[in-house]
Amino acid sequence: MNEIANMVKTPEELMKILKAAAMGDLCFSHILEFIKPGMTELAVADEIERTLRKLGAQALSFPTICVSGVNTTKPHGEPSEKRIEEGDLVTMDFGAVADGYCGDMTRTIGIGHLDEEQKKVYDVVLRAQTAGLAACKAGVSCKAVDDVCRGIIADAGYGEYFVHGTGHGVGKEVHETPVLNAKSDDVLAEYMPVTVEPGIYIPEKFGVRIEDLVVVTDFGIINAVHSPKELIVV
C-alpha cells in the first residue's frame, strides 16, 4: 500500500488545489464560447493554455489534450491540425498549476449535432462518473470506486472500451497516489484529493471521458470542479 502521509493533503495544500481547479472552470466556460467548427484541435488547445495562463496559472499540469472526432478514441491523444467538425465529440483534458499544485479536469462536448450512439455513450459515462463520485468517501477502497464505474459501463455493454483506471491522486504532481483502479490496494482517507474520470473509447468511432477533481471527506466528497456535465452541444 502507498504511504498515506503522501496522499492526505494539508488545508493549505487543498486550497491551492481548489484554486487550480477554479482556474480550470473559468477556462472551460470561456472555451464553450470560443470553440467553433473549422478550428483545429491545436488552436483550441492553445486557447485553453493561453486562458489558464491569463487567469494566473504559473504552469500547466500537463500538455493540454484537445481531440475531436475519431481522435477522441485515443484516451491521451495529442491535439493535431485536424479541424473540429459538426457531428464531432471534442474531449478536452487540462489543468492549471496554482501555487505549485495541479488542477486536472476533462469535459467532452458535442459540435453542431450528435447521433443517438454518441448521446447514449455520453450518458453511460456520465452515469458511471456520477456513481463513482457518490462512492468516494473516507474508508472506501479505491478498487471499490473503480468497480462502481466499471460495473455501470460493463452493464451498458461497453466494458471492453473502458481501457484505463478510474482516477488518481493529485498534488504537486498531476499523477500521485492513491491509484483508483482494479488492482489498487489504496484506501480513501479524509483530505485526499483524487480524480474520478471514467471513459469509453470505441475504436474507429469516438470516445467520451468526464473527469472531476474532488477532495475526499468522512461524509463523501467536496467537488473542486463546478463545470456542467450534462451533454453540451455548441
For position 212 contacting Mn ion by CB under 5 A, the verdict is no
Residue 91 interacting with Mn ion (CB under 5 A): no
CB of 181 to Mn ion, least distance (A): 12
- The DSSP secondary-structure symbol of 96 reads E
* 49 lies in the binding site for Mn ion (CB under 5 A): no
Segment near Mn ion (CB under 5 A); pick from 35-43, 121-129, 178-186, 188-196: 188-196
Smallest gap from Cβ 195 to Mn ion, in A, equals 4
Nearer residue to Mn ion within complex by CB, 41 or 104: 104
Grid coordinates representing 227 are: 463545470
For the range 159-165, what are the long-range contacts, defined as Cβ-Cβ under 8 Å and sequence gap of 24 or more? 161/200, 161/201, 161/202, 161/203, 161/207, 162/128, 162/198, 162/199, 162/200, 162/201, 163/75, 163/199, 163/201, 164/75, 164/199
In the complex, minimum distance from the CB of residue 104 to Mn ion, in angstroms, rounded to a whole number: 4
What is the rounded distance in angstroms from the CA atom of residue 40 to the CA atom of residue 38? 6
Shortest Å, Cβ 175 to Mn ion: 7
Residue nearer to Mn ion on the CB measure, 49 or 104: 104
Distance CA 123, CA 82 (A): 26
Total residues at the site for Mn ion (CB under 5 A)?
2
Q: Which span sits near Mn ion by CB under 5 A: 84-92, 118-126, 151-159, 189-197?
A: 189-197
CB 165 within 8 A of CB 179: yes
The dihedrals phi and psi of 200, each to the nearest 5 degrees, come to -130, 130
3-state secondary structure 143-162: HHHHHHHHHHHHHCCCHHHC
Least Å distance between CB 224 and Mn ion? 12
Could you say whether residue 61 binds Mn ion (CB under 5 A)?
A: no
3-state secondary structure of 39: coil
108, 89 contact by CB (below 8 A): yes
Q: Tell whether residue 195 is a contact of Mn ion (CB under 5 A).
A: yes
DSSP state of 1: -
- Write down the least CB distance from residue 36 to Mn ion, Å: 27
Can you tell me which of 41, 47, 88, 104 binds Mn ion, judged by CB under 5 A? Answer: 104
CB of 88 or CB of 104, closer to Mn ion: 104
Q: Is 64 in the site for Mn ion (CB under 5 A)?
A: no
Which residues contact Mn ion by CB under 5 A?
104, 195
